Amino acid sequence: MSSVSERSEIDAEYKWDLESIYATDDDWEDAYEAVAERVDELEAYEGRATESAETLLETLELRDEIMREVSTVAAYARMRRDEDTTNQQYQALTARSQSLAADARSAASFIDPEIQTLTREEFDAMVEAVPALETYDHYVDDVLRMKPHTRSAEVEELLADLSEVTGATGEVYQMLSNADMTFPTVEDPQGDSVEITQSNFTNLLKRPDRDFRRRVYEGYFDEWESVRNTVAASYKNSVKADVKTARARNYDTAREAALDGPNVPAAVYDTLVDTVHDNIDELHRHAELKRRALDVDELEMWDLYMPLTGDEGPDLEYDRATEHVVEALAPLGETYQSRVAEGLDSQWVDVYENEGKQSGAYSGGTYDTQPFILLNYQHDISSMYTLAHELGHSMHSELTTDEQPYIYSNYEIFVAEVASTVNEALLTNHLLETVDDPEFRKHVLNEFLERVRSTLYRQTLFAEFEHEAHRLEEDGEPLTADRLDDLYRGLKEDYYEPAAIDDRIAREWMRIPHFYRAFYVYQYATGISAALAIVDDVLENGESAAEDYLDFLQRGSREYPLELLRIAGVDMSSSEPIDRALETYGDRLSEFESLLD
């Protein structure tokens, strides 16, 4: 019987060190109470935040102090919950911290509207009077930019209060998919029962036995079918919340609202979709190559995750994976490389899957803590790439914290996904240059192709789905389970034309948690495009290009995303980086075609 370990069975060295934040839950309680009492201090500044330069500085610094403390309290609670999503105690702590964060946002909600009563010239005069305000120059520029979409202080407070409610559908979905849903066990070719989980599902679809893959695929999606109406209702209301919030802020569409936050033009989104569709034949070629490699008459959806090599790939222990990752980062300089190595030795990473653990992977932590990485390591090459990916996020945070004040520490996802994918691309280059084992090299090449397929093409498909779902809601069309299935199925047919599209794959939208953060996923696709361009530059031009890239990482959110990427030498307002990425993808496909021939 293949089963998932209890958390108590995992060695401490493979668990993250949350005690470095709070030694005990009692310490968390003390921190929670202390910051909860401080939230009310902001009331003294309401209605007078801009009466003088000194008062404005006091207001902003107090707000930042409180938000820093709240973010640490919330991060600890969430990460404790994610260790075991069925743990009622940490579910409660998470709920309390989320309420506290909503209260803090509500208490501070008067600040932006009051700043927007200033002109740019008036703020510049304040900076002249109190030079310390210069720290907030870009922040104030962004606040003034958003004036047409900021409501009165009363409405802003109401919207802040409602954020806990409007975001509740995502939490309901997480509880359903991670804590309440139970997937079946499937007998493998050796006669062992294998438990399907959210974390191991795609890994099981890489097993060489095709009938086993089919049974895993059917069992997994049949479980989703059993909650189909619940998930449809959850997502429908998430979309409604996006649309109504956008309208409350005077936006025509939810997409416009989402992209305007980081100041990314809608044309960037459209250029991505158009460029991917212009190169959709390369994805079709990949699907056909996979059919040939697997020697099947027709590529089925349960074949899609199978490597072109036709087997599961080499077993890769976590400790060896960390060595590969650290070695691969050498082009970014010894300081960057050694800092990653130190982090891995300092329990940044919660490595292995355990019962009830949050599925997937992420990089967490706050301005005042070390980074923390949640993994569900599966002893394969893909998991090694996931580690490299999350370390990119963690190092971005570390370098930003070193150089920037708190106000600029929460960089936009648009640039965050560049940092993570640069690490992946460097890992690919390193492995292809240093590993002699031909079978291992085939799997690395396959991993690159799968990463582009799943990151550039698949995330663009997702971006099209959520754009259309929001458009339907905005046009007053009902978002039923059938309508969502039909929409998703149509996109799957366009993207995977050579393969068989069955009824179960039409439900795949139900398993994508990122849809509860609207218009998020397209940034994976733009991120990999920018990252491949940066890595090409670093490998070609060496130290100078690496320094430009590290400068980009150290800027945090002190500038707008497109401006930041220009520091690293990439112009995402054009299709050029996307075209370059897809050209590299095509070249790698040709390499594998030659191996197959």
CA distances from 67 to 64, 406, 449, 581 (A): 5, 9, 41, 39
Catalytic residue among 390, 398, 417, 473: 390
* CA distance readout (Å), 492 to 90, 465, 563: 38, 10, 34
Parallel, antiparallel or unpaired: strands 349-352 and 372-377? parallel
- Give the gyration radius of the chain's Cα atoms: 24
Distances in Å between the Cα of 588 and the Cα atoms of 28, 257, 280, 434, 533 are: 50, 37, 16, 18, 16
Yes or no: say if 365 and 75 are a contact pair by the CB < 8 Å rule.
yes
Distance of CA 293 to the CA centre of its chain: 31
Alpha-carbon dihedral angle through residues 561, 562, 567, 571, given to the nearest 10 degrees = 150
Name residues whose C-beta falls within 8 Å of residue 241's C-beta, 6 or more positions apart in sequence: 166, 167, 169
CB 59 within 8 Å of CB 111: yes
User: Active site includes 390?
Assistant: yes
Provide the token pair at 483: 């309508």
Give the separation between CA 496 and CA 230, rounded to whole angstroms.
28
Instruction: Find the angle CA(162)-CA(512)-CA(220) to the nearest 5 degrees.
Output: 130
C-alpha distances out from residue 390 to 11, 257, 325, 426, Å:
21, 27, 11, 14
**Collapsed DSSP state (helix, strand, coil) of residue 195:** strand
Residues marked active site are found at 390
